[in-house]
Amino acid sequence: MNLTKEEQIILKHYHDLINLSYQRSIPAYSQFGSMSELELAYKALDEFYGHQNVSEEVQYKLYGGYPEAERKIICFLPDDRQSPVVEQDFPIACIRFLPANKKFCDELNHRDYLGTIMGLGITRDRIGDILVKKDPVFKAGTAYVFCKKRHGSFIRGNYQD
pTM for this one?
A: 0.85
Domain ranges across the chain: 5-88, 92-148
What are residue 156's phi and psi, to 5 degrees?
-55, -40
Judge residue 88's burial from the number of C-beta atoms within 10 Å of its C-beta, 0-12 exposed, 13-18 middle, 19 or more buried.
exposed
Residue 139's pLDDT is: 66
Whole-number Å distance between alpha carbons of 96 and 141: 11
In this structure, are strands 92-97 and 59-63 parallel, antiparallel, or unpaired? unpaired
Query: 5-88 in CATH: which number?
Result: 3.30.1370
The per-residue pLDDT for range 64-92, each reduced to its tens digit, is 999 999 999 999 988 776 677 889 999 99
The per-residue pLDDT for range 27-75, each reduced to its tens digit, is 999 999 999 999 999 899 888 877 554 444 457 899 999 999 999 999 9
What are residue 149's phi and psi, to 5 degrees?
-55, -45
